[in-house]
Copies of this chain bind each other. A is one copy, B any other.
């Protein structure tokens, strides 16, 4: 059974992704959740608290999944490949969360924004480390670390802006294609100087993450629990 609180959050997520935070009215959220606008305030603090909850939950989930996927990775190339695969998978399957997280940071107040940014920074550090260690080891051959990291992240994040699960591309192909593109982008080579592809690294079965996502969601619910204090 789906509770009213969950329906409220889901309605807010959909509307924030669709029309943006500022353009979404309290009454719209209430209508889509099937309650009156007054009843909404039984389940949320302010509209901004609702946004903060959505963003924290999504960011924490991505961070958890990435850290879990990195465990047991053989080397920098495998670490990066797993980061790419998880990032693309999550952005393809949790599209709405991703769109809201990417474009509504400015709608949060300072306090809530810095909390979201802290999670984001911890996540991006995983990428920075994988890239710099891979370059130090001679596996990756690029010049500008900052540019490469940002280009990779923008490329992978963009998936949320165009991917459709009902389109011609299944997510296995999507993930492998992005790993190949990422390897090419940073000029990833094996010991024999041959160009690396997704076939050269081990990537955990990402479809198994579907269950993990739900599980992580529950955990995150406890962690960031409830509403931001104001």
Contact = CB atoms under 8 A, between A and B. Distances in A.
Interface of A: 18-23, 103, 106-107, 142-144, 146-148, 150-155, 157-159, 161-162, 168-169, 173-174, 177-178, 180-181, 184-187, 195
A107 B151 contact: no
A181 B150 contact: no
A197 to B, nearest CB: 10
Given A155-B154, A158-B158, A19 B106 contact: yes
Contact of A181 (B107, B148, B174, B178): B148
Question: Taking the full assembly, how many copies of this chain does it contain?
Answer: 2
Contacts of A168: 146
A118 to B, nearest CB: 18
B155 A151 contact: yes
Given A22-B23, A153-B158, A184-B187, 10 more contacts: A18-B106, A20-B20, A20-B106, A21-B23, A22-B22, A144-B173, A148-B181, A154-B157, A154-B161, A155-B155
Nearest to A23: B22
Contact of A147 (B23, B143, B177): B177
Contacts of A20: 20, 22, 106-107
